[in-house]
Amino acid sequence: MSGLAALAGCGSPGAGPTGNAGLSFVNRLTVPPLLAPTVSADGTKQFSLTMQAGRTAILPGKPTATWGFNGAFLGPTVRVARGDRVVMRVQNNLGEASTVHWHGMRLPAAMDGGPHQMIAPGASWTPHWTIDQPAATSWYHPHPHGSTALHVYRGLAGLFLVDDPETTGLGLPSTYGVDDVPLILQDKILDADGALSENPKPTWGLIGSQILVNGVYDPYFEVTTTSVRLRILNGSNARMYNVEFADRRRFTVIGTDAGLLSAPAVVDRVQLSPGERLEIVAEFAPREQVVLRSVAGDNGIDEGEHQLLKFVAAEQLKPGKPVPQRLAGTPRIEATAGAHERRFRLSGSDEINGREMDMTRIDEVVPAGATEIWHVQNTVYAHNFHIHEVAFRVLDVNGKQPPAYLQGPKDTVFVPGKSTVRLAVQFGHHTDPTAPYMYHCHILRHEDKGMMGQFVIVEPGTEAAVPRTLSSHH
Ligand code: C2O
Ligand code: CU
Ligand code: CU
């Protein structure tokens, strides 16, 4: 019996089948290849990414039409170090316009790849910047306003890892694909013939119950070391994951979206809403097998229990080092007394502060280098909130401190229904009053429908003079 046949018949109304108990873990997990740059005489690293269509064998014998970077599905992993000068050459061979946004990167707005940096079909775009941020698991994906959900869903997403000489000495597992393994979690709706269904569901949009890890359905991973670092990305359009091991073993969270925690946090379950990343270290014994799964929650976007991946440990494992008790040396993000405060109210599935996204409207003007307090109030069902360019710390959720594992530097946060989240947001120094950055719900249907706003970063003292309307060529 195929995994799909097992899925059929356990449907729940509206949300499609729930659970995927029919998995047999027969497919070896693939890990996206590292993208090799060409390095010029001055040390600049140039990476080339081509957006293209292709076909992918997700289900046996039923090739699926997909999109990818430099291949049919997903994209290679870009890995850089703090201080690197990078040039990204992005070629669009999709046959329709798109963009590529560097989610988590701190860079000038004109290089950010948001909805203003459209790449016409057949054209290329070549942003460049200097990597100046702590070690982190970032990622890249399209961001064309109104079509982000479909472009990501069809397969355009990849990881963008930053190393930092300051943290390389910590002895964390760091052999890519061996003991430092990315897990890109995405849910799909695969029709019986293997095609990706693109019918959005009410409220959440594209939410399915076939979970792929790194694009692989029904996967296993062969463990060869006692400690394995997993860089988990929720790359789904809307689905939220409550991730745990089936035997409820504990594991160590070492990093959040924008960098390492200051101290490790030991947990037995973590939650990731769309766009969020976590770095964890899990321990394995020789010959053991254990399943990583996502358990059902009550947020509407985390229904059903889903097996994600089976870890299969080898007869002999290479011993790893214990996780050090001190991790990031970067001071935690603090807002000083009198910090500027802004309020954002999420309502319905398409509005922030009562307005839909308008590409020509600047909603907020922020002075360079500021640390502000942003209140994100959700008046309805589950949403989340992502801010481009920044790193933030979650101060509280409904007045309560978040769990220790969510107190690291972040750029995306879950905002439960009828809740308020307060963030201490640290802005960068790249000023440009005419090129906006985005903030939005990362449930991609909501973002596409208009639950998004724009801010510019400007020289302190010039805020009042900044035009609030952009001319249409932007
Ligand atoms: Cu991951 Cu504005 O996006
Ligand atoms: Cu982003
Ligand atoms: Cu939302």
Query: Could you give the domains of the chain?
Result: 31-168 (2.60.40.420), 180-318 (2.60.40.420), 341-464 (2.60.40.420)
Residue nearest to atom 3 of ligand 1 (CA): 103
**Distance (Å, rounded) from C-alpha 266 to C-alpha 29?**
26
- What ipTM did this prediction achieve? 0.99
Q: What is the pLDDT of residues 403-460, one digit of tens each?
A: 999 999 999 999 999 999 999 999 999 999 999 999 999 999 999 999 999 999 999 9
- CB of 142 shorter than 6 A to ligand 1: no
Of ligand 1's listed atoms, the one at least distance from the Cα of 412 is 1
Contact (Cβ atoms closer than 8 angstroms) between residue 282 and residue 298: no
**Distance (Å, rounded) from C-alpha 51 to C-alpha 66?**
11
HSE at residue 399, side-chain half, CA atoms within 13 A, is 1
At 73, list the tokens. 């599905």
Q: Which residues, including other chains, have CB under 8 Å from residue 307's CB and lie 6 or more apart?
A: 20, 21, 23, 25, 211, 246, 291, 292, 293
- What's the pLDDT at 460? 98
Instruction: Give which of 131, 120, 146, 41 is closest to 88, Cα–Cα.
Output: 131
- CB of 388 shorter than 6 A to ligand 1: yes
Q: Has residue 20 got a pLDDT over 90?
A: no
- CB of 101 shorter than 6 A to ligand 1: yes
pLDDT band at 5 (very low <50, low <70, confident <90, very high): very low
- What's the pLDDT at 4? 37
Question: What mean pLDDT is reported for the chain?
Answer: 94
Q: What is the pLDDT of residues 312-368, one digit of tens each?
A: 999 999 999 999 999 988 899 999 999 999 999 999 999 999 999 999 999 999 999
- What's the pLDDT at 11? 32
Q: Has residue 1 got a pLDDT over 50?
A: no
Q: Has residue 19 got a pLDDT over 60?
A: no
Q: Has residue 18 got a pLDDT over 50?
A: no
Helix (H, G, I), strand (E, B) or coil at 232: strand
- What's the pLDDT at 21? 61
* Range with the poorest average pLDDT among 199-203, 236-240, 376-380: 199-203
Of ligand 1's listed atoms, the one at least distance from the Cα of 438 is 2
Where b means 16+ CB within 10 Å and e means fewer, 340-350 reads eebebebebbb
At 366, list the tokens. 């922020």
**Distance (Å, rounded) from C-alpha 363 to C-alpha 239?**
28
**Ligand (nearest to CA of 346):** 3
Q: Which residues, including other chains, have CB under 8 Å from residue 337's CB and lie 6 or more apart?
A: none
